[in-house]
Amino acid sequence: MSHDHNHLPSEIRHEKPLWWALGLTTSYLIVEVIGAFWTNSLALLSDAAHMATDALGLMIALTAVRLSRRPPDARRTYGYARLEALGAVTNGLLLFGVGIYILWEAAERFRQPQDIASTGMMWVAAFGLVVNLIAMRLLSAGSGESLNVKGAYLEVWSDMLGSVAVIAGGLIIHFTGWTLVDPILAVLIGLWVLPRTWVLLRDAINVLLEGVPKGVVLGDVEQALRGHAGVAGIHDLHVWALASSTPALTAHVVMNEGQEPDVLRRKLADVLHERFGIDHVTLQVEVDHCGDDCADMKPQAADDHDHDHDGHSHGSDRQGHHGHVHR
């Protein structure tokens, strides 16, 4: 196999802009929370929750970069990639709590409008606009090469729109005195943040539950494997995610007569890589589908397994041909 599937260099090359963007975003998040209580602006507080999702997106991107370098060990044979999903669930639950609080507070302010320091509100939002524009500039170069950086770039871009909305609200309050625009903006920003937070939680929980990765249709994968000329059948097919961007697959493949198990396994691994981007593949190639009779068979010794790493294999001519392909 002549493919180069190491995506690590581009991730490392774009790590520094991610750190700068995270530092700027986190600094402004602190300023915005302080400014929200100083100006009594619920819109600013709601935008701070939105900014928190941006900081979370940047932290997840950096976590993915860092954890991708940490090798598995004797206790965690898959490595530490799922810490990304655990962190996303924790932060997502916190953001849900903040979002519900903002919507509750907005309902109270509709009943009893409060004074807003519109000038301070605009200054804080303007500072946030500058921070977002700088962060967008830092991330723009890598947004076309790395999915992690692209996700962070889109997060910052959407928050830039939130800052513009808060500035517009401050101008309306300053020139018209209509303070109800503040809770209205808070509700709109909150309704923008909560669905995105739910998507984040849903994707993270799917990883933890070993669900089929986003963008992968199990039926299409099975059809692609069954469609190969050397395949008589597929069973025990499982596709899950080691992390948000690391799909894995295991399957039992019943091969047609006259096939070489190692050759077939490598060809199927190529199909999975090219069509679905699945590179962590474990395939057991069988001469016949033994079904329930497998339970009556004695366990095979370690010598009965063969492992295929980057195209190097050690064959087995017995009924079950086990192979691990990690591209």
What is the per-residue pLDDT across 66-102, written as a single tens digit (0 to 9) for each? 766 678 888 888 777 777 777 778 777 877 887 788 7
Cα(139)–Cα(323) distance, integer angstroms: 40
> pTM of the predicted model, to two decimals?
0.66
Q: Which of 60-64, 152-156, 257-261 has the highest mean pLDDT?
A: 257-261
Residue 284 pLDDT greater than 50, yes or no:
yes
What is the per-residue pLDDT across 51-73, written as a single tens digit (0 to 9) for each? 787 787 778 767 766 766 678 88
* Residue 111 CA: distances (Å) to CA of 36, 39, 104: 20, 19, 11
**Is the torsion defined by CA of 69, 85, 199, 54 positive or negative?**
negative
- Provide the pLDDT for residue 322: 55
Cα(149)–Cα(145) distance, integer angstroms: 8
Cα(223)–Cα(288) distance, integer angstroms: 19
**Nearest alpha carbon to residue 166 among 195, 127, 140:** 127
- Provide the pLDDT for residue 93: 81
